[in-house]
Chain A
Amino acid sequence: MKKNNPVLLIIAREYLTRVRKKSFILLTILLPILMAAIIMLPVLLMINSEKKQHTHVLVVDETEIFLNAFEPNDNVTFSYASGDITTFKQDILQNNKYNCILHILDNSQSLKSNLYYKEKVPSSLSSFIERQMDNIFFDRILQDSLHINPAQFEKLQELTKADVTTIQMDDKGNERENIAEINEVIGMVCGFFIYFIIIIFASQVLRGVLEEKTSRIVEVIVSSVKPIQLLIGKIVGIALVGITQFVIWVMLTFGILLVAQIAAPSLMSGSVPETAVPGAGIAADTLPADFSIFQKINEYFSVSFGEIILCFFFFFVVGYLIYASLYAAMGSVVDNESDSQQYTLPITLPLLLSIIVVPSIANNPNGDLALWFSMIPLTSPVSMLVRLPAGVPLWQVLLSMGLALAFLVFCIWFAAKVYRMGILMYGKKVSWREIFKWLRK
């Protein structure tokens, strides 16, 4: 390779000036910490409440339905009493004998109760109690009014539970278990992610082009290198910034989580004691279902994880290049950032549209809307990724990729033509007609 390759020099400058910016360093480091905090905060909160709080509840039950019926756990204990509620209230106010009083009123119509406390109790306590009361009351009615054994009833419920599994078959007849909700979520996440990457980094290209034009340095640079070299250097340099940021984000987030796991293994392994919180009983009911979904995601990924990654990478690169080159062209014909919007609007609009239709495409990944949006190159990077997890016929994926590539070639040609002329035009607004004239030259 030639020494002093100008494109490499330009890439290095574009990359280094951005990576060394304070805002870049701040954002790159803070975001993973924020992410990790969001993931760990609930867990930390659980630990805190587990250590500190033990709640003693005095049940004053006028109905006598709930006598000795509450199930205590590590954090909550129950004792029962009957009599005048005001004297018990005095107990709380004066000597903290118990943390709170559950006063269940005998009011024949509905089940009404009050929970009195002086010092703050866990916020989940009332829902914990509510659930228990629901169950106890339900079992009581089953048994007393309908004469059904609650244990039998539970068995019956399990027996009659229906389960519909959707199974997708491909052309060769291979079957694959498919969960529509997960497809939707994965698709939407991928789609939004691609959208943000394109918007953030392609508009950095726009701003970079504008900066060079408004500071007039572009004329000095294009007297040393070809405009297309400057353009390529800028687009590639900024892409590398994006990749760097992304890699650091992923590594830091995992790094922080890993450290947290080593520091407190029980926290992160997912085996948070069920009884850690008053109210954990709720979680205990729903957790198994959630777990099975996680397992299914794993199964799912083992089938098409590679395909999704590959497509993600392809559409990320091609989508970024398409928008970056178009933005660069538009940045070169204007003199300031506020003017740039009228030129970028026709390009940004399809991208916005593709985000607006994400929910409908995720909902019906093989409909007409989804098909068209995943074929049109300006929308396909987002739309195809939304569709992909649900399974898209191979010919459609390949056609969409081919169209995107062909369009990219056009965009690069377009950008090279417009950029070369645009960066040298000062002071006057360039009309679309003039731009088309440049293209024919």
Chain B
Amino acid sequence: MNILDVNNVSKQYARHLALDRVSFSVREGVIFGLLGPNGAGKTTLIRILNQIIYPDSGNVLFKGQPLSANDVRQIGYLPEERGLYKKMKAGEQALYLARLKGMEHMEALTRLHHKFEEYGILDWWNRPVEELSKGMQQKVQFITTTIHQPAFLILDEPFSGFDPINANLLKEEILKLKAAGTTIILSTHNMSSVEEICDEIALINHAQKILDGNLFEIKNRFKKNIFAVEVSNEENSLADDLQNDFEVIQRQTLPHSIRYDIRLPEGKRANDLLNVCMRHSNILSFHETLPSMNEIFIEQVEHFNQLCHEKE
């Protein structure tokens, strides 16, 4: 079941079109990567999902119903530009934000205490936020984003500003939330984190959605028939045979092995490649290399920009 359906959403600002008939759906319980270069329209889309602004046309369905003011209680939002009241005490502030999300005073207080303890910042409950380190502020911010246990979580560049250790903790938290059934939209430039945790993605460029779907399917769709073979020893003829029948992209001599990256030409199958290798070497490993999300991102965006350019 879809928790979110975005249908033909357009948004025009005074000088430019921020979103141009964007449609996609997010299934319940997945981590959904919202990708795109700077200025593509991601922030506008996220603000529409948070009902901070409204689309000029098109609509957004939340759990099958048009998005309404009451839904904000089921949505958690971590904006890219983090911010808390600097002079306000950390605990008091978290309580205030939790209550704005509709939580009862006592319930919010108990749950916040637990969370602050879990994150090791309970001692800082009564300190103004400006006295906390940046990492602690990030923790407070993340707690306030999730304290009302939203069914749907929107994280805009969640890893920016975290050191590797805290970034890893955050990743684990995100996966924990997913395991508990939370649907998460992750807007990011960090493609490695997309590969690690996203199930589905949508790629937005110049206000338009240019790609969406399951991450694995997309990688398969854009695969270029490249295989990596690692062999422990080789006869001299292996390199020649490979060169004759296939396209050798790269040959690397590793300490105890040799690695080939090979593209299959039209009409050849992986088994053909294996046959050649088997004849001339001991195979250590053999696998298909799928394109990285980074490659797909750059390729698709550049391809799209070129199309736009030609149209003009």
User: How far is it, in angstroms, between the C-alpha of A222 and the C-alpha of B69 when the chains are bound?
Assistant: 11
User: How far is it, in angstroms, between the C-alpha of A220 and the C-alpha of B81 when the chains are bound?
Assistant: 10
- Residue-wise interface mask of A (197-227) relative to B, using a CB-CB cutoff of 8 A (1 in contact, 0 not): 0000000000000011001111111111111
B75 beta carbon closer than 8 Å to chain A: yes
What is the CB-to-nearest-CB distance from B236 to chain A, in angstroms, rounded to a whole number?
62
Q: Are B99 and A17 in contact (CB under 8 A)?
A: no
Q: Are A220 and B79 in contact (CB under 8 A)?
A: yes
Report chain B residues within 8 Å CB of A269: none
Which of A4, A215, A222, A223 is the one whose CB lies under 8 Å from B75? Answer: A223
Which residues of A61-75 have CB atoms within 8 Å of chain B's CB atoms? none
CB closest residue in chain B, given A421: B53
B225 beta carbon closer than 8 Å to chain A: no
B144 beta carbon closer than 8 Å to chain A: yes
CB closest residue in chain B, given A17: B88
CB contacts between A and B, total, < 8 Å: 64
User: How far is it, in angstroms, between the C-alpha of A169 and the C-alpha of B1 when the chains are bound?
Assistant: 80
User: How far is it, in angstroms, between the C-alpha of A318 and the C-alpha of B142 when the chains are bound?
Assistant: 41
Which residues of B253-301 have CB atoms within 8 Å of chain A's CB atoms? none
- Residue-wise interface mask of B (78-120) relative to A, using a CB-CB cutoff of 8 A (1 in contact, 0 not): 0101111111100000001101111110000000000000000
Report chain B residues within 8 Å CB of A10: 100
CB closest residue in chain A, given B73: A224
Given contacts A218-B83, A220-B77, contact A9 B72 (CB under 8 A): no
Q: Are B83 and A424 in contact (CB under 8 A)?
A: no
Which residues of A1-51 have CB atoms within 8 Å of chain B's CB atoms? 3-4, 6, 9-10, 13, 17
**Size bracket, chain B contacts:** 20 to 34
Q: Are B81 and A426 in contact (CB under 8 A)?
A: yes
User: How far is it, in angstroms, between the C-alpha of A16 and the C-alpha of B100 when the chains are bound?
Assistant: 16
A285 beta carbon closer than 8 Å to chain B: no
User: How far is it, in angstroms, between the C-alpha of A224 and the C-alpha of B52 when the chains are bound?
Assistant: 9
A112 beta carbon closer than 8 Å to chain B: no
The residue among A6, A13, A215 with the most chain B CB atoms within 10 A of its own CB is: A215
The binding surface of chain A is classed by DSSP as helix
- Residue-wise interface mask of B (20-59) relative to A, using a CB-CB cutoff of 8 A (1 in contact, 0 not): 0000000000000000000000000001001111000000
User: How far is it, in angstroms, between the C-alpha of A215 and the C-alpha of B86 when the chains are bound?
Assistant: 7
A158 beta carbon closer than 8 Å to chain B: no
B14 beta carbon closer than 8 Å to chain A: yes
Report chain B residues within 8 Å CB of A4: 99, 102-104
The binding surface of chain B is classed by DSSP as loop
User: How far is it, in angstroms, between the C-alpha of A212 and the C-alpha of B93 when the chains are bound?
Assistant: 13
CB closest residue in chain A, given B88: A17
Q: Are B96 and A437 in contact (CB under 8 A)?
A: no
CB closest residue in chain B, given A215: B83
Which of B81, B87, B101, B102 is the one whose CB lies under 8 Å from A216? Answer: B81
A434 beta carbon closer than 8 Å to chain B: yes
Report chain B residues within 8 Å CB of A223: 50-52, 72, 75, 77, 79
CB closest residue in chain A, given B89: A17
Q: Are A216 and B100 in contact (CB under 8 A)?
A: no
Report chain B residues within 8 Å CB of A216: 79, 81-83
User: How far is it, in angstroms, between the C-alpha of A424 and the C-alpha of B18 when the chains are bound?
Assistant: 14
Please, could you name 20 A-B residue pairs with CB atoms under 8 Å apart, sorted by A? A4-B99, A4-B104, A9-B99, A10-B100, A212-B85, A215-B83, A217-B84, A219-B79, A219-B83, A220-B77, A221-B97, A222-B50, A223-B50, A223-B77, A224-B100, A224-B101, A225-B100, A426-B81, A437-B14, A438-B14
What is B's interface to A at a CB cutoff of 8 Å? 14, 47, 50-53, 69, 72, 75, 77, 79, 81-88, 96-97, 99-104, 144
Q: Which 4 A-B residue pairings sit nearest by Cβ, starting from the closest?
A: A216-B83, A217-B83, A223-B50, A224-B100
What is A's interface to B at a CB cutoff of 8 Å? 3-4, 6, 9-10, 13, 17, 211-212, 215-227, 424, 426, 434, 437-438
